[in-house]
Structure 1
Amino acid sequence: MEIDAWLWWLIGATALGIALVVTAMPELGMLAVGAIGAAVVNGLFGGGAVAQVVVFAVISTAGIAVVRPIANRHRAQRPQLATGVDALKGRQAVVLERVDASGGRIKLAGEVWSARALDTDRAYEVGQEVDVVDIEGATAIVM
């Protein structure tokens, strides 16, 4: 019993799909799509071996050429929505207890935080507004 070429292409596409899931390499997904294209050329249009390989190569290369730059651009972007302590950096707070290089208390985003001054020579008095420049553990660094 002889297996048709389109079935071999689908078996290859399945293997590439499994490898994609295991390795998370999007290039393998593009190769799998190319293999499906080659299976379609053989199964529906009766294309020969050369046509199948050409379709596989063209679809795979085009997919990689289009998807890779998009994936790199998305990987390089920072998240647009800051969460956790990153969302608190740059916000303003109100001093509740005098803040200097050794410590103090501020009200930040509705919560009371321990704080210390970024500049060791500077002190902030009660009621004064300060900017949060960093968070170290549970302490806000302010200026």
Structure 2
Amino acid sequence: MDWLADNLWQTWLGVAIVLGVAEMFSLDLVLIMVAAGAVAGMIVALVGAPFAIQALVAAGASVAMLALVRPQLARRFHGGPELSLGHGKLVGQRAVVTETITGLDVGRIRLAGEIWSAAPYDEHLTITPGQTVEVLAIKGATAYVHPVATLDS
């Protein structure tokens, strides 16, 4: 029993390693926080504190890591920018009309460096070349646009 008391820090280190390896399989960031608590228990064991103090420090450090560190890490790892792919990334962008657009005739716009066929979102509008429009929807290869209000000086 004296050997265990003298080498308790190695037990804490073993627990931390096992929890760290288990975290690789779960990827929940819970076991790694408990492993950090085990490392804190190991440090207290190296100082020579009794087992009860080691266990309290390990538990306290684990709870603190779970409450303070894990939410921020989880937000950073699991969050990220929304990815818009295909036509979805063009909706909401502005374009310049290159060919007259009416409700009866499909015109052309320059959108993201490319020429697109375009129709007015409101079919009663006529949009002339040079006007700036906003893309409200894309259906097939046609962008449905609406003119952007400008301030005349």
TM range (shorter): 0.7 to 0.9
Give ranges in structure 1 of 5+ residues lacking alignment: none
Matched, 1:133 2:125: no
TM-score under structure 2 normalisation? 0.69
TM-score under structure 1 normalisation? 0.73
Partner Cα separation in structure 1 for residue 21 and residue 139 of structure 2 = 43
Taking every aligned residue pair, what percent have the same amino acid on both sides? 38
Counterpart of 1:92 in structure 2: which amino acid?
A: R
Cα drift, residue 93 of structure 1 = 0.7
Matched, 1:112 2:102: no
Give ranges in structure 2 of 5+ residues lacking alignment: 147-153
Counterpart of 1:93 in structure 2: which amino acid?
A: A
Partner Cα separation in structure 2 for residue 136 and residue 67 of structure 1 = 45
Corresponding residue for 2:63?
61
Matched, 1:26 2:13: no
Matched, 1:14 2:12: no
Bigger radius of gyration, 1 or 2? 2
Cα drift, residue 77 of structure 1 = 6.9
Q: Would you say the 8 A contact 2:29–2:74 is kept in 1?
A: no
Partner Cα separation in structure 1 for residue 78 and residue 26 of structure 2 = 20
**Count of aligned pairs:** 140
Cα drift, residue 111 of structure 1 = 2.1
Write out per-residue CA displacement over residues 56-90 of structure 1, whole angstroms, 9 at most, x where no aligned residue.
111111111112443465579763x9876666443
Cα drift, residue 136 of structure 1 = 5.4
